[in-house]
Amino acid sequence: MVRAIVTDIEGTTSSLSFVKDVLFPYAARHLHGFVRAQGHRPEVRELLDEARQLAGADMDDERLVGVLLRWIEADQKLAPLKGLQGLIWEEGYREGAFQSHVYEDAARRLREWRARGLSLYVYSSGSEHAQRLIFGHTPFGDLTPLFSGYFDTRVGGKKEAASYAAIVRELGLPAGDVLFLSDVREELDAASAAGLRTWCLARGEGPQVDPGPHPVARDFDEVRPYPR
């Protein structure tokens, strides 16, 4: 019996285009101004210093911004970049520049599953802060109270079985009691290798999804976490 569900965001609960066509460009456009205006804040300075270490060179903030922009263009899954993006997106949400995208079926089923006693978690390459922002600013209201926890790449890469084993340890549940939802075959393979149950979301958006051996759902209504 599934007792907990861990869900991906991009392509699973939310549109691929929202992240790639709205959030990423917004962060890129505002990165220079954000670093100049907010670089003195301790949490921002810590992320910049961490990014500088990853870049492997001693450089000022202006040059570092150039590196960060290249990382955004290449969709690098790096923790300090994701942290900075989350802080920039927070300003965008607060100023009403955009509203997050969550599929109606995802919002409805997440509420249903939570009401039926399942524990819900998020695992995404976006920072925990960015995850909370997406689910906190949806057309269906604030969905963050539905979730018991959030995981980002600080727990490990999403295509590594060890990451899912670490999540299961933190949840304190047998791996077979945890269901992972994603639209990426390699992530599902890694979760399955760690003993989790899996469902592949194939919403028909973007490149064709290769589900491999995993059960396939076109939306959350087709996911079966419990017997009917």
Q: In which band, very low, low, confident or very high, does the pLDDT at 228 lie, cut at 50, 70 and 90? A: very low
Backbone phi, psi, residue 187, to 5°: -70, -45
pTM of the entire predicted model? 0.88
Query: For residues 11 and 183, is the Cβ–Cβ distance under 8 A?
Result: yes
| DSSP codes joined into one string, 129-186 | HHHHHHHHSBTTB--GGGEEEEE-GGG--TT-HHHHHHHHHHHTS-GGGEEEEES-HH
- Does residue 206 carry a pLDDT above 80? no
> What structural domains and CATH numbers belong to the chain?
4-15+100-222 (3.40.50.1000), 19-94 (1.10.720.60)
Q: What is the length of the chain?
A: 228
Bridge partners of 7, per DSSP, are 122, 181
163: which 2 tokens?
């990451």
Q: Measured between alpha carbons, how far apart are the two ends of the chain, in Å?
A: 12
Residue 209 CA to residue 220 CA, distance in Å, equals: 16
Question: Kind of pairing, strands 147-151 and 178-182?
Answer: unpaired
Q: pLDDT per residue over 153-176, tens digit each? A: 899 999 999 999 999 999 999 999
Q: In which band, very low, low, confident or very high, does the pLDDT at 227 lie, cut at 50, 70 and 90? A: low
Q: pLDDT per residue over 56-106, tens digit each? A: 888 999 999 999 999 999 989 898 999 999 999 999 999 999 999 999 999
Residue 224 CA to residue 228 CA, distance in Å, equals: 8
Percent of the chain exceeding pLDDT 70 equals 99
